[in-house]
Structure 1
Amino acid sequence: MSKEFLIASVISMIIGIALGVLFLMIPSYVDENNILREPWILVEYGFLFLVIGIFMMIVSLTIYGINKFKNRN
């Protein structure tokens, strides 16, 4: 289980970083009603994926460490 969890955490962090880069690549503009349009939802989802990925990695490494310690004895 730990290996799949680790892979899922890495994929989640990659998605989060990709969303952050995508936010930087998509231009902001002012529409005809003088409203600034920015893709802020990408920042929110990117941060969410990064936090989830970091949390999953901590859990995965903790499970790995516990299993390694149990199998050592």
Structure 2
Amino acid sequence: MTTAAFSARIGPTAQALATIKNRYCAPPSYAPTEQVQSHMDCPRCKSRLNFTVLVSGQTSGRCVASDCLRWSMQ
């Protein structure tokens, strides 16, 4: 299965997590050297998705739109 085909099958929360982890949690440590607080376009509604990546590699995020994406310590 290609990356594009896989991305089309997973949900928006998993898409956001994968994008963030791929950008900030690169091998070999799979964690950033310092805490990251940033934002990106929400994959579901295209609003602003604010997120935090801890030095342990755990992430939390929340879309500014009500009833949209949010997760804690994934």
Same fold per superposition (TM over 0.5): no
Greater share of strand residues, 1 or 2? 2
The structure whose Rg is larger is 1
Compare relative contact order (CA 8 Å, sep 6+) and give the higher one, 1 or 2: 1
Compare the two structures and name the one with the higher helix fraction.
1
Scaled by the length of structure 2, the TM-score of the pair is 0.28
